[in-house]
A and B are shown apart, each in its own frame.
Chain A
Amino acid sequence: MKAFFLRVYDIYRFALRFFQEAFVPPYEYKAIWDQFFEVGIRSLSIISLTGFITGLVFTKQSRSSLAEFGATSWLPSLMAIAIIRALAPLVTALIIAGKVGSNIGAELGSMRVTEQVDAMEVSSTNPFKFLVVSRVIATTCIVPVLATYMGLVGMLGAYLNVHNNEQTGFSLFFQAAFVRISFLDLYVLVFKSAVYGFTIGLAGCYNGYNAGQGTVGVGRAANTSVVVSMFLIFIEEMIIVTLVNNYLK
């Protein structure tokens, strides 16, 4: 139990250090830009594919239930609610946790056990700022962008299915879809995606930066980064949805 609380305190100090270092110059613009590319551009294809399939399949699966009540015309708005409010941020975060979180954990873990982090330190470079701050900023900023993008691609998948079955036009579909979506939904999408992104970055960096025990430690850092990120994302989803529904609607 004592070890658990020590660990929690250690994570708290790690997060606190992030905020202390993130807003103090010199800023690592190039490192942050490189991470934007790593997290964003390199994830575009998988986000596009999964977003499109999610929209398509979810529409396909929902059609039969709605058809029983003759309510297939609700499909566009139902899909918009499901994708924008829940699926896009959640699925994006889970994909990025698996793809980027594990990568961050393994990369930093490998740098730690091969003394590359120490080498930065003795080269008068602040490794925390160069490695951790840049990655956490990148995931925090990019996950909302990717989630918004996935929402649009998911809606395209949904449109394709609806168009094939009901011959609904593009503008009619999107008019019907967004009738139930408010700016609050979009703000919440961006906000919770940013929280997920921060969680993914911080979990990956914490586990990688503190990796030990050689190659075993690297594997463990990658694995723990993904598991902890995914666990926390679901907890955060539950808390945010509860807060939004209770206090903002």
Chain B
Amino acid sequence: MDATDHKESVISLRNIRKRFGPLEVLRGVDLDVYKGENLVVLGRSGSGKSVLIKIIAGMLTPDTGSVTVLGEDIGSLGRHELLALRTRIGFSFQSSALYDGMNVRANLEFPLVRNKRHLGRKEIDAAVARVLEDVELSQTIDQMPSELSGGQKKRIGIARTLILQPEIMLYDEPTAGLDPVTSANINELINKVQTQYNTSSVIITHDLTCAKATGDRVVMLSDGCFLRQGSFEEVFATDDTRVKDFYNYNFISTA
């Protein structure tokens, strides 16, 4: 019996297939994410990681298979039900995706003002201050996104998702393009979010340091299928060259 069998599944994917033209990106993927865990999906560029996370968020529809998130079958939800479900899911984009016409305060307020219209100014200000404090960037409140560094943008992007206090966090390449120190800070923040907000997370990355630092469980995606899953050490305890090469090249390139 698997150690995770007794846990509550918050995300469940069954036989997910997705094709773009002649290219089949996902080939019958099954996946469970359990309550409170950080699941890392590792894979090379173009292996279908981002497609997988977008399918979980309901931004892409799979060709076949079912997606259940927080007990809701995404495929059967209407537009309004999907929007309501998304208030319980945070999505941190690879590019941070901050609204560049708004300052940090307006970026953070945006999801709150639109989804919790009953809140007053004081409550909104308090929520903004709280998430900024959590990502340790209170001083940037009046700055524009163009004035922030890459790491600060990532943090503000995460803060924007945290303001709705999501139950699930989806991170798309959270450390891509960052220096090692900033990457380590982001990894710490991901772990802090997990404990402080009690979130279940899916972290898409090709950065093994990030995977090791944040993942309670790791799955390896290659050519649209999961090759291996388990702890970081278990995943790489194999002679499969596709997995070994990924490990070797990753650490050689970051050495």
Contact = CB atoms under 8 A, between A and B. Distances in A.
A171 interface: no
A125 B97 contact: no
Given A123-B111, A125-B114, A114 B84 contact: no
Given A114-B100, A116-B100, A118-B59, A125 B110 contact: yes
B115 interface: yes
Contacts of A125: 83, 110-111, 114-115
Interface string A120-152: 111111100000000000000000000000000
A124 B115 contact: yes
Q: Is the interface of A mostly helix, strand, loop or mixed?
A: helix
Shortest beta-carbon contacts, A-B, top 3: A119-B97, A123-B111, A115-B97
A126 B114 CA distance: 10
B219 interface: no
B89 interface: yes
B84 A123 contact: no
Interface string A89-123: 00000000000000000010011001110111111
Contacts of A124: 83-84, 86-87, 111, 114-115, 164
Interface string B93-125: 111011111000000001100110000000000
A22 to B, nearest CB: 15
Contacts of B114: 123-125
Contacts of A107: 101
Given A123-B114, A125-B110, A125-B114, A114 B86 contact: no
B177 to A, nearest CB: 14
Interface of A: 107, 110-111, 114-116, 118-126
11 contacts: A107-B101, A114-B95, A115-B94, A115-B95, A116-B100, A118-B59, A119-B160, A120-B110, A121-B59, A123-B111, A123-B164
Interface residues of B, number: 24
A116 B99 contact: yes
Interface of B: 57, 59, 79, 83-84, 86-87, 89, 91, 93-95, 97-101, 110-111, 114-115, 160-161, 164
A111 B83 CA distance: 20
A123 B108 CA distance: 11
Contact of B86 (A111, A115, A116, A122): A122
A118 to B, nearest CB: 6
Nearest to A114: B95
B91 A122 contact: yes
B93 A118 contact: yes
Contacts of A119: 91, 93, 97-99, 160
A126 B110 CA distance: 12
A123 B162 CA distance: 11
Given A123-B110, A124-B114, A125-B110, A114 B83 contact: no
Contacts of B83: 124-126
Nearest to B117: A26
B153 to A, nearest CB: 11
Contact of A122 (B59, B94, B99): B59
Nearest to B110: A123
Contacts of B100: 110, 114, 116
B97 A118 contact: yes
Nearest to A117: B97
- The listed residue with most A CB atoms (<10 A of its CB), out of B57, B100, B114, is B114
